[in-house]
Amino acid sequence: MKVLKFGGTSVGSVESILSLKQIVLNAAEEQPVVVVVSALGGITDKLIATSRLAVEGKDEWKQEFDAMVDRHHKMIDTIITDSRNREKLFNIVDALLEQLRSIYSGVYLIHDLSPKTQDAIVAYGERLSSQIVATLIEGAHWFDSREFIKTSSKNGKHILDSELTNKLVKKTFADLPRISLVPGFISMDKDNGETTNLGRGGSDYTASIIAAALGAEILEIWTDVDGFMTADPRVIPAAYTINQLSFIEAMELCNFGAKVIYPPTIYPVCVNNIPIRVKNTFNPQHPGTLIKQKVDDDNKPIKGISSIKGTTLITVTGLSMVGVIGVNRRIFTALAEQGISVFLVSQASSENSTSIGVQDTDAEHAVTVLNNEFAKEIETGAMFPMSAESGLATVAIVGENMKHTPGIAGKLFGALGRSGISIIACAQGASETNISFVVQEKYLRKSLNVIHDSFFLSEYKVLNIFICGVGTVGGKLIEQIRDQQEILKKHSRLNLNVVGIASSKKAIFSREGIDLNKYREQLDQAEPSNAKKMLEGILKMNIFNSVFVDCTASIEVAKLYQELLEHNVSVVACNKIAASSKYTNYKHLKETALAHGVKFRFETNVGAGLPIIGTINDLVHSGDRILRIEAVLSGTLNFIFNELSEEVPFSETVRLAHEKGYAEPDPRIDLSGMDVVRKLVILAREAGYKVEQDDVEKHLFVPDEYFEGSLETFWKRLPELDKEFEAERKVMEENNMRWRFVAKLDNGKTSVSLQKVPQEHPFYELAGSNNIVLLTTERYKEYPMLIQGYGAGASVTAAGVFANVMSIANI
């Protein structure tokens, strides 16, 4: 025989209850079944809420009660098609409802709701639902579980009398019908005959008790999910169903918040070696999760992650505790006598403090109990008054194979640390089946995602990306990410999840990811935003493994880097402002990134997508020393001087660079050489030199007065320079020379200048908007290292930013 238990959602709607019927009939064709049902979905909560209204003397209890009556009546009218059976069922149900109405009326009149009365009230949910299901399934025999599930009272709680219950279950089902129908949850006090219950979720326990007593082949728990998941799918969308769990693993997950099965359910079937299968009433074809003594060939060290919100950590501290026998016994005895459950214990090896985890609801009482227990020690100063820290959550990773896999704890705490999550307390048993730790509740979601991703429980490694700036570079970057997303998923198991996009005026966020085909329409409809609001939005998401990408030239956006890095968000900057700012700021940003285990990348600050900064970093890190840098770093200026000819004067080449998008909106920024100065400062700093922008010696080619006034005035005056430039150009052409705007670092001294390079110089043939860099080092003295290629353009710059992002993904 087998036992089938159906939860509230399985009897909550017409569709689900008809599915239940078919599942039971199919199972009963093979062997006898005992069916245990919960109350209709949501009814238990409704019963409790209505009792509160009644005890507070509020007339609204009548409306709530009538709504419950109406729901049960409608269910009967819809699913019971035989008129005689329906009439008979109505008589039974209405009699029960009338009893319930009378109890509520009494509570309303005397303004008193004792635990005894509350227990009687909540029992009606299962008493009603079981009668409905018993009538629906032809040939089902209804049994009152109060007749064989017996409890006794201890510390105000109902404790199962296992020995008596087992005898009564065997006696009741000695002649087992093909289909037996039993209300779950409810029980009876063996001493006074009062209705009691097995606690919220107790229907699972009812089914387990019956399965164990009757030696069932299997216990099936039918619910609204496909089984145990690796984590809560509402928090981690990538969570998936676990095929098999051991009893120990299932118990650990249940005790730490996994609500698939009521925790006490596991023990009765475990000791009798009866497997449990968790299945979905709404997806009966899914195999679900099988729970048994030993799982089949499974080498995964971690099976699942579970958590408990509302944790309070109480710390018992005192120097007198060191070496004193019995302190912990007193702690746990005092709490147990008051019915307070402790689910986590962490003790310092010095023995001067013990921390315990309890539910928030028990915290205040627990502190009082312990202060009373150690009152004498506190009075003499041998111990301190109890301290309690709330606003916490407990996380547990579970898996029996952890004990066979070295380094799990190190990997766990390392991953959390890199994400900026501090561990407040931790505990691990000698069995190594469970590692539990306490974090601030605000970091719970982030913690769960970090762990799930780090231990490859997710199908993909996830990198969450915030992109600021949707202009030429930002727009191209988004296109490139969109085009590569599926390829990276398929070949690298990497999910690039763009969770935030911001323009100069608006921002959108989505934890699940933004549709990169429709982001511009979403931005148009978004609320106004600015740099401060964008930062608030990012920090509020508190999302793990994240990177902020700056595709702007904004000072305000660059100012956000420090706080982002401090909150463990990596930064990839196309924006040169931060890395070329005051040296102390540049150094502080790099040190902050290092301290928080995140990355500050800005490869495209120099040379667009060329690997210039990365190469300098590699040389320096491997022990080489940069002696000299010579470089053409402005694709815009190189384009201007390459296009200069007798037919195309200087002013026209500047305008052409502007039209092609090589130059800034205000080309004076390029002509001033400041962009090159910034790039040179960045390279010098990465090479190990402490350089400020003011240290760079500047030899410019456009007189200062052209940088004054409006942009319109600049364009009007620019042709005035054409004659002088043409005269110089002709002389150079005759001597086989060309103009190049060269940035130079030589033994710590920096300069930028417009130089005439001869035909044999490496810079002479530099075409279009290309960049070139010559690196002279201790190892590359005679033949300097040369890096050359496109140094400007939205596509190559976006590709360089993309490469930086991928370096953070570390695939």
Q: Answer whether 291's CB lies under 8 Å from 265's CB.
A: no
Q: Answer whether 223's CB lies under 8 Å from 41's CB.
A: no
Rounded Cα distance, 781 and 802, in Å: 33
Rounded Cα distance, 403 and 514, in Å: 40
Q: Answer whether 353's CB lies under 8 Å from 317's CB.
A: yes
b/e code 447-485 from CB counts within 10 Å (16+ = b): bbbbbbbbbebbebbbbbbbbbbbeebbbbbbebbeebb
Rounded Cα distance, 748 and 544, in Å: 40
Q: Answer whether 340's CB lies under 8 Å from 155's CB.
A: no
Cβ contacts of 154 within 8 Å, gap of 6 or more? none
Question: Is 476 designated active site?
Answer: no
Neighbours of 149 (CB within 10 A): 30
Report helix angle 83-110 to 60-79, nearest 10.
170
Rounded Cα distance, 149 and 160, in Å: 8
Cβ contacts of 335 within 8 Å, gap of 6 or more? 341, 342, 356, 358, 366, 369, 370
Instruction: Kindly name the residue from 446, 679, 744, 781 that is annotated as catalytic.
Output: 679
* Cα separation values, 214 from 28, 168, 172, 366, 633, Å: 16, 11, 10, 40, 83
Q: What is the DSSP letter of 493?
A: -
Rounded Cα distance, 737 and 641, in Å: 12
Q: Answer whether 209's CB lies under 8 Å from 268's CB.
A: yes
Q: Can you say whether residue 9 is alpha, beta or left, with left for phi > 0 and alpha for psi between -120 and 50 degrees?
A: alpha
Q: In 3D, which of 260, 316, 310, 263 has the Cα closest to residue 289?
A: 260
Cβ contacts of 669 within 8 Å, gap of 6 or more? 675
* Cα separation values, 112 from 52, 100, 104, 105, Å: 10, 15, 10, 11
Rounded Cα distance, 634 and 743, in Å: 9
SS3 annotation, 57-93: CCCHHHHHHHHHHHHHHHHHHHHCCCHHHHHHHHHHH
Give the β-pairing of 353-359 and 344-347: antiparallel
DSSP of 314-365: EEEE-GGGTT-TTHHHHHHHHHHHTT----EEEE-TTSSEEEEEEEHHHHHH
Q: In 3-state terms, what secondary structure has residue 139? A: coil
Rounded Cα distance, 602 and 657, in Å: 25
Handedness of CA 725, 730, 732, 736 (dihedral sign): positive
* Cα separation values, 165 from 36, 597, 602, Å: 16, 57, 70
Give the β-pairing of 749-758 and 697-699: parallel
Q: Answer whether 343's CB lies under 8 Å from 255's CB.
A: yes
Q: Answer whether 753's CB lies under 8 Å from 680's CB.
A: no
Q: Answer whether 305's CB lies under 8 Å from 33's CB.
A: no
Rounded Cα distance, 662 and 667, in Å: 9
Rounded Cα distance, 564 and 578, in Å: 13
Q: Can you say whether residue 526 is alpha, beta or left, with left for phi > 0 and alpha for psi between -120 and 50 degrees?
A: beta
Q: What is the DSSP letter of 39?
A: P
Active site residues: 679
